[in-house]
Structure 1
Amino acid sequence: MQEDFRLILDIVTVLAAASAGGFLASVLRQPVLLGYLLAGILVGPAGLGWIKELVQVETLAQFGVTFLLFSLGVEFSLKELRKVRGIAIGGGILQISLTILITAVLAVVSGWLTPVQGIFLGAVLSLSSTAVVMKSLTETNQMGTPQAQAMLGILIVQDLAVGLMLAVLPALDYPLPELAGSVGKALLEIGLVGLGAVVAGIWLVPSFLRLLAQQESKEVFLLGVISLCVGIALLTDRIGISSEIGAFIAGLMISEVEYADQTLDYVEPLRDVFAALFFAAIGMLIDPSFIASHLLLILTLVGLVMVGKFLIIAPLVRLFRYSLAAAVAVGLGLSQIGEFSFVLASEGQSLGLVSRQTYLLIVSTTALTLLITPFLLKLAPRLFAWLEGIPAVARWLESGERPRAVAPDTPARGHVVVCGYGQVGQDIVRLLESRQHELLVIDQSERVVQQLRSRGIPYLYGNAASALVLEKANLPQARTLVIALPDRISIRLCLKRALELAPQLDVVVRATHKEDIEQLYQLGATEVVHPEFEASLGLCSHVLLELGEPLAIIQQEILAIRNSHYRDLRPLHPSCLIPTPLSWLTQQAALSSSPEAPANSNGSHGSTKPASHLAWWEHWQRPAHYH
């Protein structure tokens, strides 16, 4: 068969298999990347053998990781990156160093490997999978949580370390001066790339994107962005740093530019297609027959690796003052071996650092840990919820959650407690301050606490989901508790423990997931607010006001929707199939806007608003007031 046609057929085969695998995984309510991996196993050389040009498919699959990390860099701004620089740099370097050291010592003591081979194996095991972790966190809507930010910070450092490891590998057997020279050269290259990225991000990239946008052509903009992404990735690969980290740097350069959202919107479809190719290509590397013949050994290695990495990572995260729950989540999330380990293992085999047998064991162990990780990240919230139901475990989880600092002017009575000082928490505090209400903010970020201290806002420095921290907030004497935490586990724990301390407390909760609304009400929340539903209500109310509907009717219907816990707006709720109060109101608004419409409540017709009621409503609705 003609070579070019063979490659096209292989790509179509992989994409079709990945599509089928992803569909099946979705039907079974499993992560879609699990379907991609299994599809790769099925059509790969160790399965049905339908794929002949594996090397070329793998080359194309690398674009999947490239675009994945590029879009991740666009979404994850430099401002967000600075928030986790402590855990990223300190925790990432410590985690890599400890993993290499412990692995090398154990390998030498057991007599399995030489010191050089032990160091190499430690480097392979120290890496985690950016692609798998980020894909899983995105699918489970955990990207905004503290543990997700910590994972990403550590993963960035790991990816940067890949270039350093690849540069050092050929010199591992060399004398110390030559080894130090290789390390110094690699560090210098990374530093120069970082400096070049800063310069280009400030002076070149914004002008380049502005020039593309001025052409008002989606195709031109997309091609220009792809060229920028791939060009920087190839440049970093050329100088010895992984192309994937180059793509991430390209994304960070764009993240602070006004065209970041437009860029992300254009690149996401390409990212998803090539990411499916990438995960399927990883599946092709898995040899089920080799795993079956060495099943006990491989399962033992999988257990040792995942438990060992968890025991290294979780305490390190705790050391950086993250909550115990967040530390456990990060430990579980990063306990696998990363996709770059395939690259390191292949390079090590070509350099003679490991035998063919050891290489196959590394590949098989890595593949199984990648298969297990999506399940761990998906089951982690349920695991925490189950552990919270065991009194002894719950007390142990709470034991390390004492408040680290308390403001001297903490209010004792009649105050509003705000848990979480993100964007929502900041807006609430600003409004309460403007009306001179007593308030207390609880947050576990040292940076946030410094801001609160400088502004003279009473604070509690600690985990708002901890009973020991909530006890210091004088909840029985508080007027209201506002829970605006970023992750669903902390939200539920905070609500549950707050009501245990003050059963009659008025509690307003921001729900991050639609499916949590009813559960939060069942746990005792007075009011549960979902941002997307509230945006829908706000937009619709503005439209109806413009159509001339009386404010009193709009308020009445919106209140009814809120009192029904947004049931009429939920896509999966049966009532979405019948006319809802808001849809009825929209129909009435359309009728009232017609020429034959009767006069409204204030005697006006058509689209004239009831001016006597609307001053405060318009003041709240206008976009300028959100600035």
Structure 2
Amino acid sequence: MSTAPTLIFTEALVLLGGAVVAAPIFRKLGLGTVLGYLAAGAVIGPLAHIITGAEEILPVAELGVVFLLFVIGLELKPSTLWRMRADIFGLGSAQVLLGGGLLTIAAVMFQLLDWKAAVVAGFGLSLSSTAFALQILNDRNDMNSAYGQRTFSVLLFQDLAIVPLLAMISILGNQAGSQSASLWMDIGIAIAATLAMILTGRYVLTPLFQIIARTGAREVMIAAALFVVLGSAMLMQAVGLSMAMGAFLAGVMLAESSYRHELEADIEPFRGILQALFFIAVGLSVQFNVIFDNLLLLALAVPLIMLVKGLSIYGLCRLAGSSHNDALRIAAVLPQGGEFGFVLFTTAVSAGLFSNATASLLISIVTLTMALTPVVASLANHLLKGEAREEIEEDFEGAGSDVLMIGFSRFGQIAAQILLASGRDVTIIDDSADRIRQASMFGFRIYFGDGTRLDMLRAAGIEKAKIVAVCTQKRDVTDKIVDLIAAEFPHCRLFVRSYDRVHSLSLRARNVEYELRETLESGLKFGRSAITALGVSEDTAAAIEDDIRRRDEERLQLQAVDGLRAGTHMLYNRPVQPEPLVKPKRGAEQPEDAL
């Protein structure tokens, strides 16, 4: 066997091993997987010298960003993208112009670069990393939040800005005369290619996948998905746009296709692995010799650049109508330099605007700002203000019924219907103004109040209530209400919605009269219906359901007696051993436990 394939497999093994080791450790430490991948790359490459040549790995690893943008495009219908146009072209362009302008002025003021090089450096550093920002949003499950959508809009414009920025480098590199006509030609070609992509996606891709789906060949569908992503990416790159932009457009065009979910499932494994590889490749590219040689400059420049970008983004988002918290979140996710900075700075060297040393220094700045982004995003959480809750003035006139229900979410709404249908009066309190308004549309009378406050409970008529039903969603809130009522009204009969098994044991220790895990009965009914649909008789299905319910209760009683450590699901004396389940015998016999 030749050494070249062996070397490739060895490097792949090392990279995968680094990802497997670093990601869980950093996730456990609360630092995020991105920082873990960066650290793994830095150790594998510049520190241990196990792998060299990050410039060869990075172009392949960038496919992770391409696949990520395709998946995001699948989640955005063209109508949704159209609604985001103000943020994309308004806020996005303002961010690039303001951030690039401020960083350019700073470079000139401190006499770090001449004005031409300062313009390229300033606008190159104004671009943020799509991969880093979107990974943070995905880790937080905030991609579809208001601030997540606005963050993505800014990133999308930055991808579009790469074309005029590359043209600007050509102009500044004393090639203006020859480039004047070709600039407009390049822009025209880019627009034409984008329109061709849109038309192809709208009229060709869906019929194509319909034909492939009829073959029933799963591997062909996967190959077609990869072909579409890579083909659209290569087309956009050929006309000067980013590969990620091409993949994103292809995703948007397929967002309304019936094959959207299947395509997403096919691409997702490739996206995850390649995106992890991208972050590791960035870590591989860290030039520690450049960092050590310019330690003081970098110690001043990196935080200054992140501060300038962060403050400018925060101010623009506030002007665009974002709340303080959302603007701060966006600013904390986008303060880093981006992967397009590598492209711009390398191009600037070719155009004679930079020396190789300057480009290396700027690339080191981008890399360090990337590495610090997860930390900055985490620290920014401490500057968030408590979200202002809408409050309603409430006089509690007419309150005081047989049943006092605290919390009117989905669980409480179902329980309340049974109580009301039986002819019982129910006093319901909830602390969500929106939920109260929605419930009033269906004829429910709900009082606005915080069930953790003693004065609210008294005003709601807790002293007259025969039963207090605590149906709040969060475990800590439920526990606080139960403890308050047990201390102040010890004779109240408490019926409590439980979050999970551990919570049920905790509530039983508080001597509540009745508790029910929120998913227990629905899960049992679901399973019973499923086996009935598979041909099991109604009597047998009912017997199995009763048997599972009985066994669950017996295990709960065992755990309640012997004790359960919170979060470990282990008894102090011995572990709970769930009994094997057997099919109940037909007829009148009760199901027997398997030993």
Q: Same fold (TM over 0.5)?
A: yes
Matched, 1:540 2:541: no
Give the C-alpha shift of residue 48 in structure 1.
Answer: 4.8
Indicate conservation of the 8 Å contact 2:73/2:252, yes or no: yes
- Report the 3-state secondary structure (helix = DSSP H, G, I; strand = E; otherwise coil) of the residue aligned with 1:128: coil
Give the C-alpha shift of residue 279 in structure 1.
Answer: 2.2
| Greater CA drift, 119-128 or 158-167 | 158-167
Which of these residues, 569, 575, 583, is aligned with residue 591 of structure 1?
Answer: 583
Partner of 1:18: 15
Give the C-alpha shift of residue 510 in structure 1.
Answer: 12
Q: Which whole-Å deviations, capped at 9, do the CAs of 1:578-615 have from their partners, x for residues lacking one?
A: 668xx65x82xx432x44x53579xxxxxxxxxxxxxx
Over 3 Å counting, the alpha-carbon distance change for 1:497 and 1:549 in structure 2 is: closer
Over 3 Å counting, the alpha-carbon distance change for 1:574 and 1:480 in structure 2 is: closer
Indicate conservation of the 8 Å contact 1:86/1:320, yes or no: no
Over 3 Å counting, the alpha-carbon distance change for 1:175 and 1:28 in structure 2 is: closer
Partner of 2:273: 273
Which of these residues, 19, 26, 31, is aligned with residue 29 of structure 1?
Answer: 26
Instruction: Give the Cα separation in 2 of the matches to 1:329 and 1:493.
Output: 26
Alignment of 1:336-375 (within 5 A): 336-375=336-375
CA root-mean-square deviation: 5.7
Give the C-alpha shift of residue 543 in structure 1.
Answer: 4.0
Q: Kindly provide the amino acid, as one letter, of the partner of residue 66 in structure 1.
A: V
Give the C-alpha shift of residue 412 in structure 1.
Answer: 9.4
Indicate conservation of the 8 Å contact 2:107/2:113, yes or no: yes
Partner of 1:604: none
Give the C-alpha shift of residue 9 in structure 1.
Answer: 4.5
Instruction: Give the Cα separation in 1 of the matches to 2:124 and 2:413.
Output: 47
Give the C-alpha shift of residue 256 in structure 1.
Answer: 2.3
Give the C-alpha shift of residue 25 in structure 1.
Answer: 1.9
Instruction: Give the Cα separation in 2 of the matches to 1:148 and 1:518.
Output: 38
Over 3 Å counting, the alpha-carbon distance change for 1:482 and 1:260 in structure 2 is: farther
Instruction: Give the Cα separation in 1 of the matches to 2:541 and 2:349.
Output: 74
| Greater CA drift, 229-238 or 336-345 | 336-345
Q: Which whole-Å deviations, capped at 9, do the CAs of 1:220-254 have from their partners, x for residues lacking one?
A: 11111111111110111111110111112222223
Give the C-alpha shift of residue 29 in structure 1.
Answer: 3.4
Over 3 Å counting, the alpha-carbon distance change for 1:204 and 1:47 in structure 2 is: same
Give the C-alpha shift of residue 111 in structure 1.
Answer: 3.0
**What is the TM-score when the length of structure 2 is the normalising length?**
0.70
Over 3 Å counting, the alpha-carbon distance change for 1:202 and 1:56 in structure 2 is: same
Indicate conservation of the 8 Å contact 1:18/1:35, yes or no: no
Give the C-alpha shift of residue 64 in structure 1.
Answer: 2.4
Q: Kindly provide the amino acid, as one letter, of the partner of residue 527 in structure 2.
A: C
Indicate conservation of the 8 Å contact 1:336/1:366, yes or no: yes
Indicate conservation of the 8 Å contact 2:173/2:352, yes or no: no
Indicate conservation of the 8 Å contact 2:103/2:308, yes or no: no
Over 3 Å counting, the alpha-carbon distance change for 1:515 and 1:311 in structure 2 is: farther
Q: Which whole-Å deviations, capped at 9, do the CAs of 1:552-603 have from their partners, x for residues lacking one?
A: 77778889999999x99x996447x9668xx65x82xx432x44x53579xx
Instruction: Give the Cα separation in 1 of the matches to 2:345 and 2:503.
Output: 43
Partner of 2:250: 250
Indicate conservation of the 8 Å contact 1:133/1:374, yes or no: no
Indicate conservation of the 8 Å contact 1:10/1:52, yes or no: no
Q: Which whole-Å deviations, capped at 9, do the CAs of 1:272-326 have from their partners, x for residues lacking one?
A: 3322332232223211122122222112111111222211122333334433223
Matched, 1:222 2:209: no
Over 3 Å counting, the alpha-carbon distance change for 1:496 and 1:323 in structure 2 is: farther
Instruction: Give the Cα separation in 1 of the matches to 2:16 and 2:135.
Output: 16
| Greater CA drift, 221-230 or 194-203 | 194-203
Alignment of 1:40-51 (within 5 A): 40-44=41-45, 46-51=46-51
| Greater CA drift, 125-134 or 475-484 | 475-484
Over 3 Å counting, the alpha-carbon distance change for 1:170 and 1:23 in structure 2 is: same
- What percent of counterpart residues are identical? 23
Partner of 1:260: 260
Indicate conservation of the 8 Å contact 1:432/1:439, yes or no: no
Q: Kindly provide the amino acid, as one letter, of the partner of residue 205 in structure 1.
A: L
Larger radius of gyration: 2
Alignment of 1:158-237 (within 5 A): 158-172=158-172, 188=188, 191-237=191-237
**What is the TM-score when the length of structure 1 is the normalising length?**
0.67
Q: Kindly provide the amino acid, as one letter, of the partner of residue 219 in structure 1.
A: E
Instruction: Give the Cα separation in 1 of the matches to 2:290 and 2:114.
Output: 25
Instruction: Give the Cα separation in 1 of the matches to 2:222 and 2:333.
Output: 33
- Report the 3-state secondary structure (helix = DSSP H, G, I; strand = E; otherwise coil) of the residue aligned with 1:204: helix
Partner of 1:305: 305
- Report the 3-state secondary structure (helix = DSSP H, G, I; strand = E; otherwise coil) of the residue aligned with 1:240: coil
Over 3 Å counting, the alpha-carbon distance change for 1:348 and 1:21 in structure 2 is: same
Report how many aligned residue pairs link the two structures.
Answer: 543
Instruction: Give the Cα separation in 1 of the matches to 2:20 and 2:238.
Output: 37
- Report the 3-state secondary structure (helix = DSSP H, G, I; strand = E; otherwise coil) of the residue aligned with 1:549: helix
Give the C-alpha shift of residue 146 in structure 1.
Answer: 3.6
Give the C-alpha shift of residue 371 in structure 1.
Answer: 1.5
Over 3 Å counting, the alpha-carbon distance change for 1:332 and 1:290 in structure 2 is: same
Over 3 Å counting, the alpha-carbon distance change for 1:280 and 1:376 in structure 2 is: same
Q: Kindly provide the amino acid, as one letter, of the partner of residue 549 in structure 1.
A: A
Give the C-alpha shift of residue 366 in structure 1.
Answer: 1.0
Give the C-alpha shift of residue 496 in structure 1.
Answer: 12
Give the C-alpha shift of residue 207 in structure 1.
Answer: 1.2
